Structure 1
Amino acid sequence: MLEGEIIKFYRKKAGLTQEQLGKDICTATHVSRIERGETRYSSEIIELFSQRLQIDIENEIAVVQNIEKKLHKWHTSIILERMKEVDKIKNELECIQYISASNFATLYQLLLARYYLLKQIKEKAYDILVQIRKDTPAMSSYERNLYYHVNGLYYLAQYIRLENENRQKALQELKKINIEQYGNPEYYYHLGLAYHWTQSKVMAYFYAEKAFRYFKKTNNYARAILAESMMLVQLEGSTQLDFEDIVENYENLIDHSEALGLTDKKGMILHNLGWMYFRRRDYKNAHLYYEKAVKEANRKSLPFLNRLYNYLDNAEEGNILSSKMILKHANEGLALSKKATNDLYQVLFSLLIFRVSSTTDEYFLYIEETALPFFRSHHHVTHASKYGKLLFNYFVKNKQYEKAVETGDIFINVP
């Protein structure tokens, strides 16, 4: 019975043996049977135990009975990204000492991992997931699917590194989810994102649309904007809509984000639109949107480094900014990358600096000795392919055919 479980928890917390708790009240054997729910007992005994343990048993029972409801409310708040409510409920749950010994301990830990991922504290989320895997607790079907979801979210949180291994792991985990058992259509968005990062445009669009309908139905406008933005990204290069229609949809999303005060979402959409123009080699329009996206980003964040690099890369390729201006901002990006200990952007900004300020030979030597080995060892497929091809052409041009063959084999067989 619940009273017995609570008594056991607080007895252990107080460092008392069953004999010490039952002294002058009942035998240690009777205490053991009460804690295991194997015998009937009077309210007087429970009251005496409560006095000895200095707890209000009625209040503790009420709190425990409310745990499940509070945990599901917390999950809903996380899905809706209502950060004040998310933090408030977290603080309330932390005050429930019994939660770690209750039947909801695993659910609590899984949602705590989701909380840390939402707060971008990936290390703490990882520690929780490792502990759950180590303990291999018996989970309900809901908890098991939530576990797959949180695992997928953890690997998606590594997306900024563009590592193919993390993309595949995210997709593998999210595909394990049984929506009938889980009942949380929010995961469609993350599954769509995983398909997007594995370049499966049709599947990414399919799940992004399902997520969009769910978010719209539940009045989750911020997430609906993200889902619609993902849908638009998949249409790039398709014949389903004219490019002008896609741009108009993007502009509408930007306006909606601004009206709702969603600065982070607005910045992401601006960046996506800049990327679409860049892919069309419309460097002038790409520059306009990239510049706006950079201004919307927190300078201490990874999105800032990503946007700044793309902004400068586009400006250099389109001959929009002077070499002096590109070098100034590229060195700023390099300094921020070092401060954030982000190896990927240290390499990318260094490449940009070499490209603008150094001789051709120095630039390609850096690609050969530093950049390409880094991209390959960290599974940065897109970068490895791009710079592998550049290096191959450089070797061919300089009649270094043996190196050209070696490099060609590298970028053709990128892992």
Structure 2
Amino acid sequence: MEFGALIKYYRTQRGITQAELAKGICSVPHLSKIENNSKEANEETIALLLERLDISMEEMEENEEKIKILIREFSNRINFYLKEEIEETYQKLKQIEHLIPFSKYIHIWGLYKYRYLLFKGKMDEAEHQKDLLYKQKKNFSQHEEYLFRYYNAVFLMWKGQYKNADDIFDTLHTENNYQASDGEFLYHRALVKSSLEQSGHAIHFGKLALQMFMNQHNFIRILHTLMLLGINYTNSNIYEEAEECFQHIIRNAKLLKEEQLLPQIYHNMGHLQFKMKHLNESLFYYEKSLELQPNINQHYLVTLYSIGEINYFLGAKEKSIECFQEVNSLAKDLGVKKFRLLSEYYLQLMSSPIKGYKYLESKVIPFLEEENDSQEDLTHYYKMLADYYFEKDMVLEAVNYLNKIT
């Protein structure tokens, strides 16, 4: 415990002058040096100063131990993704937050608070905390500096700046001489690689993270990592492994009562079945996902769009039109241009194929290319146009879109 800073804090809080506090204990210059941590005081002097301030040294030492235990507990609960328990520990730390600056955990607490705000998705508050920490950076230990850079990479990831985040992760990995990192670090690395559509790297780091989490019996993070692996196996056309991942998550999400994961699992299973050309199975999983989604948001929109597309390929025209009309309306309300354009494309396609493909070529594809959209999505629509032009014996136009695919 930093007793000098603590004495100064309570002295000023209680309106006591240095002369009043020091009287009969030590000189005023001596007290001033103690308060500014420029002079070490003996234990007897500290005890007398604390006693005059009506503070027990034993209590302060107990508080230091309490801070240490709570911060360790806080870190563990975030690592194990225990949402309710995280909030409980955070509130306990907030109650004694005024004491933390006087302990050796001042920077660690600031860093874990940053991590907590990222965990809660409070990006504006997290950015403010990042700025506060940056001002203290020169006082960080080597481990604290590592944590700051790591959490900054996570911050950039959630802001969609995947390349910048990936660069930080690569640097941290290299600086640690490629030694085994913890599960959280490996999981976030895999997540960034997945977002950059580098599925091979995402699978590599995901498998390493999974092994770490299995060794720790970190069951919730195991589910998250299996989800990530399932998505990247799907993107890599490794269908058997992807299906095994999703089936495993479905079983265990129910056992662990992590039912909020089920809509996402069913959606990803639907996408896998679509890629495997199992359209009826794909529709089944997409519809299960939609039923379980509590809020009408962009996730709901994506699933509804997928249902409309599957119905189109199955020849269920009326159901498809109904879905795309709802997608179009929701996309306008939510301000999601991509799905407004895509739903409009399908609605025009079912009304007039010529108009539909013209709309796809003139509106949808340029927008997706400009937005640097998912390569998988672009490939899907390039192939649709290529197939259309081949049917019309317009070989040069068809080859143009096949070349875009390759």
TM-score using structure 1 length = 0.77
* Gap change, CA 1:151 and 1:245, over 3 Å in 2: closer
Question: Deviation at 1:272?
Answer: 1.7
Q: Which residue of 2 aligns with 1:140?
A: 141
RMSD: 4.0
* Gap change, CA 1:260 and 1:101, over 3 Å in 2: same
Question: Deviation at 1:310?
Answer: 3.2
Question: Deviation at 1:311?
Answer: 3.3
Contact 2:114/2:130 (8 A) holds in 1? yes
1:259-278 → structure 2 map (5 Å cutoff): 259-278=255-274
* Gap change, CA 1:68 and 1:323, over 3 Å in 2: same
Contact 2:118/2:126 (8 A) holds in 1? yes
Contact 1:22/1:49 (8 A) holds in 2? no
* Gap change, CA 1:102 and 1:366, over 3 Å in 2: farther
* Gap change, CA 1:85 and 1:412, over 3 Å in 2: same
* Gap change, CA 1:17 and 1:363, over 3 Å in 2: farther
* Gap change, CA 1:318 and 1:136, over 3 Å in 2: farther
Which consecutive unaligned segments of at least 5 residues does structure 2 have? 391-396
For residues 84-139 of structure 1, what are the alpha-carbon distances to aligned partners after superposition, in whole Å with 9 as ceiling and x for unaligned? 21111111111220224543232222211221222222222222223323543432
Residue in structure 1 matching 2:334, options 325, 334, 337: 337
Q: Which residue of 2 aligns with 1:298?
A: 294
For residues 289-343 of structure 1, what are the alpha-carbon distances to aligned partners after superposition, in whole Å with 9 as ceiling and x for unaligned? 11212233331555334433333344345444624421453146326624xxxxx
* Gap change, CA 1:112 and 1:40, over 3 Å in 2: closer
Distance 2:120 2:181 in 1: 24
Q: Which residue of 2 aligns with 1:9?
A: 9
Distance 2:16 2:277 in 1: 73
1:17-36 → structure 2 map (5 Å cutoff): 18-19=18-19, 21-22=21-22, 26-35=26-35, 36=37
Matched, 1:349 2:340: yes
For residues 355-374 of structure 1, what are the alpha-carbon distances to aligned partners after superposition, in whole Å with 9 as ceiling and x for unaligned? 315766588569756x6676
Distance 1:308 1:141 in 2: 48
SS in 2 for 1:120: coil
* Gap change, CA 1:150 and 1:229, over 3 Å in 2: same
Q: Which residue of 2 aligns with 1:225?
A: 223
Amino acid across the alignment from 1:177: L
Distance 1:246 1:375 in 2: 27
Amino acid across the alignment from 2:214: K
Distance 1:309 1:318 in 2: 14
Which consecutive unaligned segments of at least 5 residues does structure 1 have? 339-344, 398-403
Matched, 1:322 2:319: yes
Q: Which residue of 2 aligns with 1:204?
A: 202
Distance 2:284 2:79 in 1: 33
* Gap change, CA 1:49 and 1:248, over 3 Å in 2: closer
Matched, 1:169 2:164: yes
Question: Deviation at 1:379?
Answer: 3.9
SS in 1 for 2:114: helix
Q: Which residue of 1 aligns with 2:394?
A: none
Contact 2:200/2:236 (8 A) holds in 1? no
Residue in structure 2 matching 1:286, options 270, 282, 299: 282
* Gap change, CA 1:384 and 1:262, over 3 Å in 2: closer
Contact 1:34/1:41 (8 A) holds in 2? no
Q: Which residue of 2 aligns with 1:117?
A: 118
* Gap change, CA 1:14 and 1:73, over 3 Å in 2: same
Which structure ranks higher in relative contact order (CA pairs < 8 Å, sequence separation ≥ 6)?
1
Matched, 1:87 2:87: yes
- Corresponding residue pairs, total: 389
> Identity across aligned pairs (percent)?
19
Residue in structure 2 matching 1:195, options 193, 196, 205: 193
Contact 1:146/1:182 (8 A) holds in 2? no
Contact 2:223/2:249 (8 A) holds in 1? yes
Distance 2:114 2:310 in 1: 37
Amino acid across the alignment from 1:175: D
Question: Deviation at 1:15?
Answer: 6.5
Distance 1:282 1:114 in 2: 41
* Gap change, CA 1:183 and 1:363, over 3 Å in 2: closer
Distance 1:378 1:130 in 2: 30
1:323-402 → structure 2 map (5 Å cutoff): 323-331=320-328, 333-334=330-331, 337-338=334-335, 345-356=336-347, 361=355, 368=362, 375=368, 378-382=371-375, 385=378, 389=382
Question: Deviation at 1:281?
Answer: 3.6
Question: Deviation at 1:78?
Answer: 0.5
* Gap change, CA 1:238 and 1:153, over 3 Å in 2: closer
SS in 1 for 2:172: coil
Contact 2:345/2:359 (8 A) holds in 1? no
